[in-house]
Amino acid sequence: MVVFTGDTGPNDALTNLAKDADLLVAEGNSIEERMQGMIRSGQWQAMTPAEQAGIRRQMTQGHLSPDDVGKMAAQARVKTVVLTHLTAKPDNDYTAWANEVKKHFSGRCSSPRT
């Protein structure tokens, strides 16, 4: 069985859906890296406090972090995780994100450049 996530935060329904899946294709988002990118570009400073709060809420409730994916995959006992729909990185190297998944998940995990 293959399970795909879309933009979502961690939730029990998704974990239950992924139970015993052969492959979990999960979107991934690093709140910290996305924030740093927005600060570097000046986007963050140009936002109102309400806009900043909305972005923070969207990042934490509308996306899965690599840590979230690892915990969910371990709890659901999936065999393999592929990270996709990732927050853009200038070097396109997501090895650290796959390693973060592996802190909780002992199965195979891959992403670009891992």
Of 61-75, 78-92, 99-113, give the range with the top mean pLDDT: 61-75
Per-residue confidence at 34, pLDDT binned at 50, 70, 90?
confident
Tell me what pLDDT residue 74 has.
98
**Residue 91: pLDDT over 70:** yes
Q: What is the CATH number of the domain that holds 19?
A: 3.60.15.10
**Reported pTM:** 0.86
Counting the structural domains of the chain, the total is 1
Average pLDDT over residues 20-47: 92
Q: Strands 23-27 and 2-4, how do they pair?
A: parallel
Range of the domain at 12: 2-110
